[in-house]
Structure 1
Amino acid sequence: MTNTKLDPITATTINFSNYFGFDAVTQLQEKLLQHPYYPSLLSISEVLENEAGIKNFAVKIQSDQLHEVNLPCMAHLNTKGGEYVLITEVKADKIFYELEGKKRQISFADFEKIWTGVVLVSEVQKQELKQKLNYKVLIPYLVPLFSIALIGILFFKSLTITLFSPILFTGQFICLVAGLSISVMLLIQSLGRSNSFIQQLCGSESKHNCNHILSSQAAHLTSWFSLSDLGFLYFSGSLLILFLSHDSTAAVAILTLNVLALPFTFWSVYYQWKIARTWCRLCLMIQGLFWLQALFSFFTLYKYPALFSVFNFYQIPLLLIVFLFPSVVWLSSKDLFKNAQKLVPLQSELNKFKFNVEVFKNQLYSQNQYVGALPKTTIVLGNPDSLLAITMISNPFCNPCAKAHQFLEEWITKGMDFKLNIVYTFRMDENDKQQHFFKHLLAIQQTDIHLVEKALKNWYSQDYQKLDSWKEKYPINVKEEDKLELLEQVNWCKLNEIKGTPTFYINGYQLPKQYQLKDLKYVLMNLE
């Protein structure tokens, strides 16, 4: 999932795309929020097709036709002012669906009462697209590799242990890693950035509800420091001590910290049992790990009492520094995470205004229009008859121009209807590399209009633009162009006071400075 809490419609859309093997969550969320008509069905449909490659259509059907559509599909309900659910299975008497990361079921009769009849359906079966997009095949290989690396770390660390058993060290290590992992989950949940896995672990019923415990006053030592923070600092600090300190020092230090933490387990269980009357599963896992770790610690000191005698008290300041290091890092960055979370709804509201088609048109039409007709030597890509014309003033040796060309080319490849005019800047100098590039490109266009797109793609895909090797790849007889035509292009750029590249015009109007063209795909698609 993304690093921010998703609204229900975005979450359902992303969940739908996940079924088809698409998991670039941040990209999908960003494009949805940039769509001028979000959260309409049009915005969902266009983003799924253009970003996730999932061809789809929306249709209004009768309830008896629901058994015939491809699953999963998104269904529109009239609850909460209009929401979308992901239908995963349809039976004669039941509907199985997902909403906000949870699997649910409802009787067919009850579903008919809240369903508007509208569904968004994929044109292909999910298995077909998964084969096409199945780049996640690497994941099964990553787990064994990570496990091997972890075993290697344990093995080499155990070779250095001289004062107590490697088995006991490994037990401590596993407890601390497990505790750190659960502590991170608690932090994610307490910061409101949960995902479906953590939600299922935590639960939302009256008897099992992590949020109820984590949001209570008892879970906060101060307004800025919670027990979730303390757990994270305990396990991360202890883990650093285990690896960076001498055996005896680490064993005694971890035992001391562990003993100090044990009374807290009684209070935590009592609070959940008698006061809150609900259980936090993740919290209970932490309590269990405290006691399991205590067993390893006490057994280590029972079997190796010499650890006390060789404890180096001079290392205590070093231990404090090691233990407090994660504290400093986390507490100094915690506010950044919180502030980023607060910015999400603000950014969403800003996007609704910024990417509103009427607002964009008002901003666009207040800008300067380019003067004079485009030069005859303008490179034209896309649909030459389209009503939407994007004009790009470019430089073949400009890195931002290369990036702009790549996303514009992607728009064309994905079927967006627009005309792309490219006007290159150069000097009237026989030694000017930009002019040599343009002459060659122009000759390609005049010989084979379809080859020019391929030549440009090849040029901008190079890490370092090498003119000679590119010319060799696309051999063409370059005629000496009429200098008047080249001069016309140079003068056109001067007349329009082109001061930098890339410069963009939309239907003849210069793109407002507050907009980035790459963010305007869906605004332009709906521009009349």
Structure 2
Amino acid sequence: MIENYNYLYQYLHKEKINIDKKEFEFQIKFHPDYPSFLALVDTLSFLNIDNDAIRLPSSEIELLPERFMAFLKEENNIPRLSFIEKKGKEYIQIQDKTTFIMSQQEIEARWESIVLLVEKSEVERTKSSNKLSWIFALSFLITFTLVLFGLEGSLQTKLFFLFPILGMLFSIAALKDLFDTQQNELLNSFCNMTSSTSCSAVVGSVKWKIFEIINFSDLSLVFFTSQFLGFLVFLFSGDVIGYFIIQKIVLLSSIPVLLLSVYYQRFIENKWCPICLAIIAVIFLELGYVIIFQNSYFAISSQIIVVFAFIFVSIVFTWLAFKKLLIRQKDLKEGQLKAIRFERNYSIFKNSLLAKQKVQLPKSLILLGNKESNTIITLISSPFCGHCKGSHEIIEGILEKHHNNILIQVILKTNLETESEEGKELCRNLMFIYKYHGEEAFLTALRSWFDNISLNEWFDLYRTNLTLEFDIMFDNQHKWCEENEYNFTPSIFVNGYEYPKVYDRSNLPFYINELVEDKF
């Protein structure tokens, strides 16, 4: 079943908060608790949308803002998360395009005490742009139209192109699982307009064995594609009459298949597929067009049959090969989805984290975030380590989202006995900047270094009075790393436990909420 998040999108839209819907629906599927409320809240947080899930008794509903989300009892007392707006003394529950007006007493009777609030954050993800896709589609349409009208033939004849184009679009929509269009809101609304309609149930049905090999959607896509390409070929060759003679034969022959489709939907699956019915309507419109406007005698040459048969067979083999590729891609995506859910499961991560012995880390002057926090992430890094830049970016991202709940300790690993004078000066300067100019200045200076990695340019911006006051700390930290065999950077520790090597460092942000709540 596809989760519908329209209620969430409506709430965010009202609050003037932009969200990349595709990115949200992609990320939430990776959450180990998908499709739970926790998965929704965590995904919003991951996308930098400030939110707060609270428990609130029904007696305090009036204290809520004008717009909020809350769990309300539906039929059979099943709780459902809904978007609610306050209008005077009334409450409006909005579900898609349907609204339900409730009084204070009615909402209290359905209240489940869990509320979700969002607010516009300073760092906000914007809507994804599909401009490139639209430009490509528009360019193709303009080019095709120019080519089409450059060919011989009447406008009435060329308008036939609309039917196979519509048919291909409906066929692709019917195969939405393969073409990854199952999250399209308009398409889902069309397919599930009533309780007796379901495109997925009909298209995915294999109650007849033949559908395990080929189904109506495959047939329709091959049929309309061969029509489209065949029409182009015959237009270029100037034999439109021959093309329409073949189409009349093919369309008349397809009537039993269409009736079989209607029978299967009505009596076998007991569900109607609106897209399938639209495809059937397009074919009957084609048949009507051919009979009315292209009423030719059934005089057909073997050459015309061979040409169209070649086009049809080529489309069949091309589609079968392409379908295998799409199925393989879909399986890989589903496998990746399961693997990432497993990888982001906090309980499994915690077991891996605690599998090693806790270590007593050396002290560091550089402490970022909430210095009173019990959740401490330690990063052992080196300014001259190429891999350390990525780890610092991850840590900065965590700090930006969880500054008040987490403490980041940074250890700059350097060997003063072997390090160059410029290298020593860089490390001393970074420590000086942190101690005397603060957290933000340190992060800016460190970011500037990793972005340029040019000592001369960096010193032009950040050179300070040289001091040896940090050398004892550098020596102690380096000695600790040697004694405990932490010879490579970066190394990350969570509350004194080394970050498991089997986990990619980029996954660390996904565990932060649980780490903050957990005590170990």
TM-score > 0.5, shorter chain as reference = yes
Asked if 1:457 is matched to 2:450, the reply is: no
Mapped contact 1:370–1:509 kept (Cα < 8 A):
yes
Q: Which residue of 2 aligns with 1:154?
A: 144
Q: Which amino acid aligns with 1:96?
A: Q
Q: Which residue of 2 aligns with 1:60?
A: 56
Q: Which amino acid aligns with 2:401?
A: K
Q: Which residue of 2 aligns with 1:230?
A: 219
Q: Which residue of 1 aligns with 2:494?
A: 506
Asked if 1:445 is matched to 2:421, the reply is: no
| TM superposition score normalised by structure 1 | 0.75
Q: Which residue of 2 aligns with 1:283?
A: 276
Residues 239-278 of structure 1: CA deviation (Å, up to 9, x unaligned): 5556688724996679747535454223334544566665
Mapped contact 1:367–1:511 kept (Cα < 8 A):
no
Per-residue deviation, 1:289: 1.9
Give the Cα–Cα distance (whole angstroms) in 2 for the partners of residues 501 and 165 of structure 1: 72
Alignment map for 1:20-169 (pairs within 5 Å): 20-27=17-24, 30=27, 34=31, 39=36, 45=41, 47-49=43-45, 51-62=47-58, 65=61, 69-77=65-73, 83-89=79-85, 95-98=92-95, 103=98, 105=100, 112-122=108-118, 124=119, 129=120, 135-136=126-127, 145=135, 148-158=138-148, 161-162=151-152, 164-165=153-154, 168-169=157-158
Asked if 1:412 is matched to 2:408, the reply is: no
Mapped contact 1:12–1:84 kept (Cα < 8 A):
no
Asked if 1:383 is matched to 2:397, the reply is: no
RMSD of aligned Cα (Å): 4.7
Give the Cα–Cα distance (whole angstroms) in 2 for the partners of residues 14 and 488 of structure 1: 53
Give the Cα–Cα distance (whole angstroms) in 2 for the partners of residues 512 and 432 of structure 1: 35
Give the Cα–Cα distance (whole angstroms) in 2 for the partners of residues 34 and 276 of structure 1: 33
Mapped contact 1:36–1:355 kept (Cα < 8 A):
no
Mapped contact 1:85–1:97 kept (Cα < 8 A):
no
Asked if 1:267 is matched to 2:255, the reply is: no
Residues 60-117 of structure 1: CA deviation (Å, up to 9, x unaligned): 243794596322422243877863321344577775332xx68464765665544324
Per-residue deviation, 1:478: 3.9
Q: Which residue of 1 aligns with 2:362?
A: 373
Alignment map for 1:157-236 (pairs within 5 Å): 157-158=147-148, 161-162=151-152, 164-165=153-154, 168-169=157-158, 171-172=160-161, 174-188=162-176, 193=182, 195-203=184-192, 205-217=194-206, 221-236=210-225
Q: Which residue of 2 aligns with 1:355?
A: 346
Give the Cα–Cα distance (whole angstroms) in 1 for the partners of residues 317 and 34 of structure 2: 49
Asked if 1:476 is matched to 2:476, the reply is: no
Structure 2 CA distance for partners of 1:443 and 1:212, relative to 1, 3 Å: closer
Per-residue deviation, 1:385: 3.2
Once the two structures are aligned, what percentage of the paired residues are identical? 19
Per-residue deviation, 1:142: 6.8
Give the Cα–Cα distance (whole angstroms) in 1 for the partners of residues 58 and 489 of structure 2: 54
Structure 2 CA distance for partners of 1:281 and 1:482, relative to 1, 3 Å: closer
Mapped contact 2:11–2:67 kept (Cα < 8 A):
no
Mapped contact 1:21–1:130 kept (Cα < 8 A):
no
Q: Which residue of 1 aligns with 2:509?
A: 518
Q: How many residues align?
A: 504
For structure 1, list consecutive stretches of 5 or more residues without a partner in the other structure: none
Residues 500-528 of structure 1: CA deviation (Å, up to 9, x unaligned): 43221112111123444233222222122
For structure 2, list consecutive stretches of 5 or more residues without a partner in the other structure: none
Q: Which amino acid aligns with 1:23?
A: D
Moved more, 262-271 or 277-286: 262-271
Q: Which secondary structure state, in structure 2, belongs to the residue aligned with residue 85 of structure 1?
A: strand
Mapped contact 1:183–1:228 kept (Cα < 8 A):
yes
Mapped contact 2:367–2:407 kept (Cα < 8 A):
yes
Per-residue deviation, 1:198: 2.5
Structure 2 CA distance for partners of 1:324 and 1:483, relative to 1, 3 Å: same
Structure 2 CA distance for partners of 1:46 and 1:86, relative to 1, 3 Å: same
Give the Cα–Cα distance (whole angstroms) in 1 for the partners of residues 109 and 199 of structure 2: 33
Give the Cα–Cα distance (whole angstroms) in 2 for the partners of residues 237 and 495 of structure 1: 72
Per-residue deviation, 1:131: 11
Q: Which secondary structure state, in structure 2, belongs to the residue aligned with residue 283 of structure 1?
A: helix
Mapped contact 1:33–1:351 kept (Cα < 8 A):
no
Q: Which secondary structure state, in structure 2, belongs to the residue aligned with residue 373 of structure 1?
A: coil
Q: Which residue of 2 aligns with 1:330?
A: 323
Alignment map for 1:232-247 (pairs within 5 Å): 232-236=221-225, 238-239=227-228, 247=236
Q: Which amino acid aligns with 2:93?
A: F
Mapped contact 1:233–1:326 kept (Cα < 8 A):
yes
Mapped contact 2:167–2:224 kept (Cα < 8 A):
yes
